[in-house]
Structure 1
Amino acid sequence: MGRTDNLTADASLAIAREATEAGAKIACRYFRAGIDNEFKRDRMDPVSKADQEAQARIIDVLDERDPAAAIVGEENDARKTVPESGAAWIIDPIDGTNNFVRGNRLWSVSLARTVDGEPVAAATTLPATDDTYAAGGDVVERNGVDHSVSDRTDPASLIVAPIFGLKQRDRDEYDHVTSYIHHELGDLRRLGSGQTSLAMVACGEIDAAISTVHMTAWDTVAGAHMVRAGGGRVTDLSGDRWRHDSDSLIATNGAVHEDVVASLRERLDRE
């Protein structure tokens, strides 16, 4: 049984907005500024001073506004797992770092608050495109205007984003999913930012996002919450409700969900 939480979804959302904006201001100081990068696993996994300083600034805001909550974050020494009890903030200071370091505008600062492991509020801002996606309870907004998932039902009309990192061990899975999208759905969008992809599903800009491998909480939780707030569905490949520790993620507008899950599973079984 989790601890009693003293913040409403609206109050949590207000903090999420404030903290993402604070982190975005730091990140923007370095965008297209030619900063040096370090690398985690390989040359396709960069981390910059911007990531580290943006996360530190976000944590400053959270420590002031919600000091009892745990901090889960990609950078520095933040914890890496979502607690199953009590409140937590999940931070991705720059989602789409490869885009960021190359001067591509599709990167975001993303934040979600969970209580007992379930998201209650989220905000994802794309400062380089001046877009902010956010959800508290059961409404998703883009730039302060309510939105919802798309209403498309014809598989041939779906625009779908594969959400994968670039780990070598996942590349075969990535090949299978992109082949499925190309041959059985309408079109593919590889955006290079999982949180951006999920926010776009939530607001009807694209119709679905798919990963058949485990994705970290900071790459997914905020966006998954927004998809559900926008009326969509998020499950794993088995059709079970998606959680931060699931081993796959299928996010759709809901209307096509069962068809997409079934046809993807059938194709993967053949390969």
Structure 2
Amino acid sequence: MGGTDDLTAEESLAVAREAAESGAEVACRYFREGIANDYKRDRMDPVSKADQEAQDRIVEALRERDPAAAIVGEENDARKTVPDSGTAWIIDPIDGTNNFVRDNRLWGISLARTVDGDPVAAATALPAIGDTYAAGDGRVERNGLECGVSDRTDPSSLIAAPIFGLKQRDRDDYDAVTGYIHHELGDLRRLGSGQTSLALVACGELDAAISTVRMTAWDTVAGAHMVRAGGGRVTDLAGDRWRHDSDSLIATNGEIHEEVLSELRDRLDGERI
């Protein structure tokens, strides 16, 4: 360990839930209220005052309960990298901002606590839908009730979600992954929120979530922790254990993991030749 951790696993989980709910309260004040938004890289990368104010409220809540932890967040002046030692909170104040600003209910407030770079607790609140997903040590819950990954193994019965941003350089990989899902699996769900997709895998609502490109920590860490807590498996494309700095993320119910990896590698190798 990089230092003494003042919170137990249960306390970390409680703080994650409370902070997510506090951020959700702020975000909901602005949802479907016609607020203006700015853009980061391009017109498909919006940011609103709801994102910024929700993150401020979450940080305030975390500072009250866990003042020594570093804050890693998408907005404002938070640091952008996960420390390899000590404790940290990774925050996405609104995951699925494109959905949020278009009045679509598929968006969430997501955060995870890490100790020496590894997640120990996470929560993702979807307030416009009414679901909250949370995971501590070896247990994932939906609205306070324990759940877990699916047990499906027949490829034709599997529903998978591609998790990609909208950078032009990633479009070829996105095409390859969606082509694989369309042709080899049962169905595809593109939700526009990586954390929502991963939470749904953790509780068996989806069977897999796939990204073959590097994603940010705030888009992935909480959900990846939930999938593992729910009995699933999360690796990179090579099959190595996924970390916040991995260059790809394959999350499945575990039963189908090796088959999905093999099929994806074959398809991507063919695309890249």
The TM-score, its normalising length taken from structure 2, stands at 0.99
Q: Classify the secondary structure of the residue corresponding to 1:89.
A: strand
CA-to-partner distance for each residue in 1:53-82, whole Å, 9 max, x for gaps? 000000000111000000000000000000
Q: How does 1:56-71 map to 2 (within 5 A)?
A: 56-71=56-71
1:199 match? 199
CA distance in structure 2 between the partners assigned to 1:5 and 1:167 by the alignment:
38
1:234 match? 234
1:185 match? 185
CA distance in structure 1 between the partners assigned to 2:199 and 2:153 by the alignment:
19
Q: How does 1:16-55 map to 2 (within 5 A)?
A: 16-55=16-55
1:12 match? 12
2:117 match? 117
The TM-score, its normalising length taken from structure 1, stands at 0.99
CA distance in structure 2 between the partners assigned to 1:67 and 1:186 by the alignment:
46
Unaligned runs of 5+ in 1: none
Residue 71 of structure 2 aligns to which amino acid in structure 1?
I
Q: Tell me by how many angstroms 1:122 deviates.
A: 0.2
Q: Classify the secondary structure of the residue corresponding to 2:227.
A: helix
CA distance in structure 2 between the partners assigned to 1:183 and 1:264 by the alignment:
12
Unaligned runs of 5+ in 2: none
2:154 match? 154
Q: CA RMSD in A?
A: 0.6
CA distance in structure 2 between the partners assigned to 1:203 and 1:164 by the alignment:
21
2:254 match? 254
CA distance in structure 2 between the partners assigned to 1:251 and 1:9 by the alignment:
23
Pair 1:104-2:104 in alignment = yes
Residue 98 of structure 2 aligns to which amino acid in structure 1?
N
CA distance in structure 2 between the partners assigned to 1:211 and 1:9 by the alignment:
29
CA distance in structure 1 between the partners assigned to 2:159 and 2:241 by the alignment:
22
Residue 162 of structure 1 aligns to which amino acid in structure 2?
P
Pair 1:266-2:266 in alignment = yes
CA distance in structure 1 between the partners assigned to 2:264 and 2:8 by the alignment:
38
* Residue correspondences, number: 271
CA distance in structure 1 between the partners assigned to 2:55 and 2:71 by the alignment:
10
Residue 112 of structure 1 aligns to which amino acid in structure 2?
A
Contact 2:173 2:268 in 1 (8 A): no
